[in-house]
Amino acid sequence: MTDSPFTLHSRSSQCAARRGEVRTAHGAIQTPVFMPVGTQATVKGITPENLKELGARIILGNTYHLFIRPGHELIRNLGGLHKFMNWDGPILTDSGGFQIFSLSDLARITEEGAAFKSHLDGSDLFLSPEDAVAVQEALGSDIMMCLDTCIPYPASREETVKGTELTGRWARRCRAAHTNREQLLFGIVQGGMYENLRGRAIDELVGIGFDGYALGGLSVGEPHELMMDITEHTAALMPQNYPIYLMGVGTPEDLIEAVWRGVDMFDCVMPTRNARNGMLFTSEGRLVIKNARFRDDPRPIDESCDCYVCRHYSRAYLRHLYMAREILSSHLNTIHNLHYFVNLMAGMRKAIEEDRFAEFRRDFYGRRPGRQDKIA
């Protein structure tokens, strides 16, 4: 086992929710936390200064995309990813495994690594576990992820065993290739929808020793209830003195439910992608700004929100921007959506500290029409 970068500050007496802190080379991260996704060294539609103003303290970059363009060596030569994108807070980079999985028609997975074709120009590329670590070390990220092989849903037990065991062997190679210990390295727990395989994967990763542990291979098409069952089972088996990260999830409801089950860290493209498509998150549910009923609506997106957008702009104006396809539409919508997600996590942290997370969860669902069935 490695020394843990995680400090537990408090636990809920009502569920598995916990309040903690992850220490990195670029500062501490207060958990539970949502990480805005900056796939190509930018969180789409928003500046680093905007991110700081709305309260974001850590962002995520994508190894696959930065490896292809502009290239990790170029970024290293220009001072690393923090300087390159003008972000002085912590950065987590994923390993590229999910992107390779999503481009399965262009990829071939072997024991050595992943051979794939660039989605940009079709050129032949290869990424081994050692390469994934080397690329992330060149980028200078604060938290790196092991290269893993993502298992689809549905998958047979035989297919799941094969993929999980390969992820374990790759994890061992990633740890051996890890040279800069100021950069944290997280292992990824695969195992598909089989609880015993998840448990075996955790045992193997803990035996290798990582700085944190992530739940991979979820939100890949399985029913929501199954995703939460696997999350609850897996999070409970993970070493509790290390950060627990649920990759690629999710909706506000997903965040509430996963924190309830003991998860600390999250990322998802949903707030930024939905912003560009005119879908806005509010304390009472989702709002589709293009709807005609907002044409002359003078109210802010969310009357209980204190973000820059809600303080200055009406639904009518935001609808006008969206319908006119103005660039400002994406910018303002993104500010609001990310503020909503960041503020939601801040509210959860405070509720856990005050040991009223069950009340917070009840209030969250109580304000959403038709969701009272989720109130425990």
CATH architecture under which domain 6-268 falls: Alpha-Beta Barrel (3.20)
For the stretch 56-77, pLDDT in tens is 999 999 999 999 999 999 999 9
Contact (Cβ atoms closer than 8 angstroms) between residue 128 and residue 147: yes
The pLDDT of 235-261, averaged and rounded, is 97
Give the integer Cα–Cα distance in Å for 164 and 167: 5
Give the integer Cα–Cα distance in Å for 95 and 108: 16
DSSP symbol at 292:
G
Q: Is 101 exposed, middle or buried (0-12, 13-18, 19+ CB in 10 A)?
A: buried
Q: Is 12 exposed, middle or buried (0-12, 13-18, 19+ CB in 10 A)?
A: buried
Query: Domain ranges in the chain?
Result: 6-268, 277-365
CA 186 to chain centre: 13
Contact (Cβ atoms closer than 8 angstroms) between residue 217 and residue 190: yes
Q: Name the more confident of 103 and 231.
A: 231
Look up the pTM and report it: 0.96
Active site residues: 94, 267
Query: What does the block give as tokens for 255?
Result: 């965040």
DSSP symbol at 128:
-
CA-nearest of 324, 306, 251 to 281 is 251
Q: Taking 70 as the threshold, does the pLDDT of residue 371 lie above it?
A: no
Query: What does the block give as tokens for 100?
Result: 């390779």
> β-pairing, 18-24 with 6-11?
antiparallel
Can you tell me which residue has the tokens 């009518």?
316
Q: Taking 70 as the threshold, does the pLDDT of residue 19 lie above it?
A: yes
Confidence of residue 283 (pLDDT cuts 50, 70, 90): very high
